[in-house]
Structure 1
Amino acid sequence: MGVRSLPAEAYYGIQTLRALENFPISGLRPLAAYVDACVLIKKAAAMVNGDLGCIPADLSQAIVQAADEILNGALRDQFVVDVYQAGAGTSHHMNVNEVLANRALELLGDQKGNYQRLNPNDHVNYGQSTNDVIPTAIRIGGLLALERTLFPALADAIATLDRNAEGFQAVVRSGRTHLQDAVPVRLGDTFRAWAQILSEHLIRIETASGDLTLLGLGGSAAGTGLNTHPHYRQRVVARLAEFIDQPLRPAPHLMAAMQSMAPFVAVSGALRNLAQDCVKISHDLRLLDSGPKTGLKEIQLPPVQPGSSIMPGKYNPVMAEMTSMVCFQVMGYDSAIALAAQAGQLELNVMMPLIAYNLIHSIELLGNTLAALNHRCLQGIQADRERCLAYAEGSLALVTALNPHIGYLNAAAIAKESLETGKSLRQLVLERGLMSAEDLAQVLDLDTMSQLPGDT
């Protein structure tokens, strides 16, 4: 295809340069977890291929050393191919091969680009193909991102919500359905419900991520294992399992692992599901904090920054607002992943670069967002106990508790009259002689009404 000049400081090679020329699309570069995943695969492959005698021992050691340097933070600016690139991820894959080869050559005391001695294809990529490396890298990158960002952040947010639930358990507020008054509930139970919702999502995501542990590495170009050592497949997966401390296993069918994007769709779908409930919770926080004079204002979110360029003293629920925006983006990424997953043909899905970026980015976005929401919002929430109690005591929905004692029609008539006259439910029941004062006090006890089954 001709000759190109490379910058002297570049560790990538001509295939990467051609990709830079061809794909000046978004300016987005590969995510760190994805680079780590690719380099870990190359390190494992070099070690195994060296042990099996497939590549010379000195070259294997140099590739491993170069990989370790990159994993420790070196040469990160050398991974430069745009996210939107050649199908299947060949451009990024060769970017990784070239950087490792050139740094390994330096470690051997040689010059970058002397591919007669150490070649990106023949040595760094021995027994591998874009077609088995990239789907494996998406799996490894997803697992790394989950462990580094989302799982810890989700667990911390759940713990904070549980602590809030304990602190607010004695606070009774008016429940609301259809944004209208409903029967009283405990503010603590509101937070405990959110904690339970997130806990169930954590389980769903952990379950979905189990499919990421089945690796098609060793399938080579089409899943047949062409040009690989008979023992390579098992050994390389075992090495990767050691590197990331995950129960990785070879996929039962290498062609299937190469072709189907179902594991990524499943994880992405679980992320979308989490995002949808995070939007719901963030909207609830905004509603409960609305005001301060003309809204509910049952809770106060921490004021972390001024809320207006013109209205003094105003603050906004910015952390909850940010959370919703991020979750909408994750939902969009999930839609793109679903479309890309169905777009493969025969032995390969060429849309893997899009899936890799969207999936790993979704994990990191949600992890970073939940960490920020927890630290800057959830941990500092305060309850307005008096306001919560006033709403609960003034709610017409209290009449619901009278149904078993005076009947639905009497209860409805009392509710209507209370709304029209301003008289309390208690006053109207006593005026009509429908219940004794003692029985009425027991039935309309807010603490009793707001207890969940099993509460004491």
Structure 2
Amino acid sequence: MTVSYRNECDSLGRIQVPDDKYWGAHTQRYLKNFEIGEKQTEKLPFVLITSFATLKKAISNVNCINKDLSPFLNSAIQQACDEIIKGTISSDNFPLGLYQSGSGTETNMNLNEVISNRSNEILGGFKGNKRPVHPIDHVNLSQSSNDTFSTAMIIATVLELVHSLLPSLQALKESLDEKAQQFDSIVKVGRTHLQDANLMTLGQEFRAFSQQIQFSMDRIRSVFPRLKLLPQGAATVGSGFNTRPNFANQVSSEISRITGIEFKSSPNKFEAIATRDSILELSGALNTIASSLFKIANDIRLLGSGPSCGFNELILPKNESVSSLLPGKFNPTQCEALTMVCSQVFGNQTTITMGCASGQLQLNSYGPIIAKNILNSIKLLSDGCKSFSNFCIKDIQANEESIDKMVNRSLFPLASMLLPKYGIAVANEVATKAYEDGISIKESALQLGVFKKETEFDELVHSQGSVGPLN
């Protein structure tokens, strides 16, 4: 297929741009100069592009309110931004890779060019002539790449947390709560150091998982007061050069109106433009969440190990036949997928830490790689929690027969239940005899005359005191 081109100009001269694309000279030069990585995978997430368009839309409105931009031009810019947000302007108009200027200048210019060219089409003009809407003089009015990219990153991050990760965590917690209630009456052997410990219920075990998820959501929300502070209005170094006195607050209010989420202007723009500390704080929370999920997934696949030679306390859903060699074998695929998700989040945390620590003086110049990795962590955790909840937790069943067998043949957990009433000497004698004779604690206690009837022992095992504080 023959591709037609148009000529566009910038400070370096003329360059040919594909005529079916909305980007301009600056973007085209990037494509020539930065051929780094796989074009399809080493890109910024599209949610960052739509958040950038949301920001450009808000700023254009504020500039119009302040009479720095005519309603005529603002109307076209608004429509162009809406088309990006809704996907009417396709994502292939934003071809830039991850590796570019650390301030995200190329991405900012890509947005400016696309919005300008589309706005001019809307107003009856054509791509490439920069009239009447100019990419810098109008679309980028009152802005710098330094404050726009960092602001777009924050908007995208908050939107993904609110609309994706928090709902996924909440759904997972509800699934765990449902299972905890279902398993409340199932007494099992607890384990510490991977050795037998006191009795507990399977419900208690799942409530611990649920509490981890609740704390995970709490951790995210605790970051919001700092994360939602926007650097827009900082300009290049934080001074607000070339902006109106109340511009920053106006933009934050407009973004809040558009998104339905409350954002505020950062009280110190010099800090806001020089650091990404709130993103790093969030990444630490995500790293903790990944650690929690890793443990939950590992515990569940350990409890579901077997079916003949493992713990075999849980029956995991059989979603697919996964063994290519062993007939009838089903693997804990959802647990494995989630632990791999968590491993990637651990790696992202390292990259984000390096990026946030490596800013110099008045600008953090690692914006694109920080944005890519924080959004990737949120996306992976959101999808991972959703998949784990829907295809693992919701259909998990307890193998009560196997659990009862382990309770009945356990030594230390059952022997410890004799302590409150009979003391350490009797408990040791019962445990020692059971171990040496190869019999159960129940049989040993009956033979030693500690209990007269089997029912006395059974009542003790299933009493409230066996899985919690004494009555």
Question: TM-score when scaled to structure 1?
Answer: 0.95
User: What CA distance in whole angstroms lies between the structure 2 residues aligned with 1:325 and 1:16?
Assistant: 35
Deviation of the 1:210 alpha carbon? 2.7
Q: Counterpart of 1:31?
A: 45
Q: Quick check: 1:58 aligned with 2:72?
A: yes
**Pairwise mapping of residues 146-295 of structure 1 onto structure 2 (< 5 A)?**
146-295=161-310
Q: Quick check: 1:356 aligned with 2:360?
A: no
Q: Quick check: 1:9 aligned with 2:25?
A: no
Which of 45, 48, 61 does residue 47 from structure 1 map onto? 61
Aligned CA distance change for structure 1 residues 110 and 194 (closer, same or farther; 3 Å): same
Which of 314, 331, 334 does residue 349 from structure 2 map onto? 334
Q: Per the alignment, in what secondary structure is the counterpart of residue 6 of structure 1?
A: strand
Q: Counterpart of 1:420?
A: 436
Deviation of the 1:116 alpha carbon? 4.2
Backbone CA RMSD of aligned residues = 1.9
Q: Is the 8 A contact 1:168 1:187 kept in 2?
A: yes
User: What CA distance in whole angstroms lies between the structure 2 residues aligned with 1:440 and 1:402?
Assistant: 12
Q: Counterpart of 1:70?
A: 84
Q: Is the 8 A contact 1:29 1:82 kept in 2?
A: yes
Deviation of the 1:405 alpha carbon? 3.5
The residue type paired with residue 277 of structure 2 is A
Q: Which is further off, 415-424 or 91-100?
A: 415-424
Q: Is the 8 A contact 2:314 2:396 kept in 1?
A: yes
Deviation of the 1:438 alpha carbon? 8.7
Deviation of the 1:436 alpha carbon? 6.0
Q: Quick check: 1:429 aligned with 2:452?
A: no
Q: Which is further off, 397-406 or 245-254?
A: 397-406
Q: Per the alignment, in what secondary structure is the counterpart of residue 407 of structure 1?
A: helix
Aligned CA distance change for structure 1 residues 376 and 104 (closer, same or farther; 3 Å): same
User: What CA distance in whole angstroms lies between the structure 2 residues aligned with 1:436 and 1:313?
Assistant: 46
Residues 59-90 of structure 1, C-alpha deviations (whole Å, 9 max, x = no match): 11111110011111122221111012221111
Aligned CA distance change for structure 1 residues 451 and 341 (closer, same or farther; 3 Å): same
Q: Is the 8 A contact 2:318 2:330 kept in 1?
A: yes
User: What CA distance in whole angstroms lies between the structure 2 residues aligned with 1:452 and 1:108?
Assistant: 73
User: What CA distance in whole angstroms lies between the structure 1 residues aligned with 2:469 and 2:140?
Assistant: 61
Q: Is the 8 A contact 1:13 1:98 kept in 2?
A: yes
Q: Which is further off, 233-242 or 116-125?
A: 116-125
Q: Which is further off, 223-232 or 124-133?
A: 223-232
User: What CA distance in whole angstroms lies between the structure 1 residues aligned with 2:162 and 2:34?
Assistant: 32
Q: Counterpart of 1:83?
A: 98
User: What CA distance in whole angstroms lies between the structure 1 residues aligned with 2:215 and 2:244?
Assistant: 43
Deviation of the 1:451 alpha carbon? 3.4
User: What CA distance in whole angstroms lies between the structure 2 residues aligned with 1:44 and 1:452?
Assistant: 56
Deviation of the 1:409 alpha carbon? 4.8
Q: Quick check: 1:373 aligned with 2:384?
A: no
User: What CA distance in whole angstroms lies between the structure 2 residues aligned with 1:453 and 1:263?
Assistant: 42
The residue type paired with residue 388 of structure 1 is I
Q: Per the alignment, in what secondary structure is the counterpart of residue 88 of structure 1?
A: coil
Segments of structure 2 that go 5 or more residues without pairing to the other structure are 1-11
Q: Quick check: 1:302 aligned with 2:296?
A: no
User: What CA distance in whole angstroms lies between the structure 1 residues aligned with 2:448 and 2:407?
Assistant: 23
Residues 286-305 of structure 1, C-alpha deviations (whole Å, 9 max, x = no match): 01111111111111111111
Segments of structure 1 that go 5 or more residues without pairing to the other structure are none
Residues 114-133 of structure 1, C-alpha deviations (whole Å, 9 max, x = no match): 12422111110100011111
Q: Is the 8 A contact 2:414 2:461 kept in 1?
A: no
User: What CA distance in whole angstroms lies between the structure 1 residues aligned with 2:94 and 2:192?
Assistant: 52
**Pairwise mapping of residues 400-419 of structure 1 onto structure 2 (< 5 A)?**
400-419=416-435
Q: Which is further off, 234-243 or 52-61?
A: 52-61
User: What CA distance in whole angstroms lies between the structure 2 residues aligned with 1:272 and 1:448?
Assistant: 37
Q: Is the 8 A contact 1:275 1:330 kept in 2?
A: yes
Per chain length, whose mean CA-contact separation is higher, i.e. which structure has more relative contact order (CA < 8 Å, sep 6+)?
A: 1
Deviation of the 1:231 alpha carbon? 2.8
Residues 125-174 of structure 1, C-alpha deviations (whole Å, 9 max, x = no match): 10001111111111101111112210111000101111111111111111
The residue type paired with residue 451 of structure 1 is V
User: What CA distance in whole angstroms lies between the structure 2 residues aligned with 1:453 and 1:22?
Assistant: 69
Q: Is the 8 A contact 2:44 2:368 kept in 1?
A: no
Q: Counterpart of 1:103?
A: 118
Identity of aligned residues (%): 36
Question: TM-score when scaled to structure 2?
Answer: 0.93
The residue type paired with residue 197 of structure 2 is A
Aligned CA distance change for structure 1 residues 167 and 352 (closer, same or farther; 3 Å): same
Q: Quick check: 1:125 aligned with 2:140?
A: yes
Q: Quick check: 1:314 aligned with 2:329?
A: yes
User: What CA distance in whole angstroms lies between the structure 2 residues aligned with 1:166 and 1:430?
Assistant: 34
| Aligned length in residues | 455
User: What CA distance in whole angstroms lies between the structure 1 residues aligned with 2:187 and 2:247?
Assistant: 63
The residue type paired with residue 130 of structure 2 is Y
Q: Is the 8 A contact 1:132 1:216 kept in 2?
A: yes
Q: Counterpart of 1:19?
A: 30
The residue type paired with residue 9 of structure 1 is D
The residue type paired with residue 24 of structure 1 is E
Q: Which is further off, 404-413 or 37-46?
A: 404-413
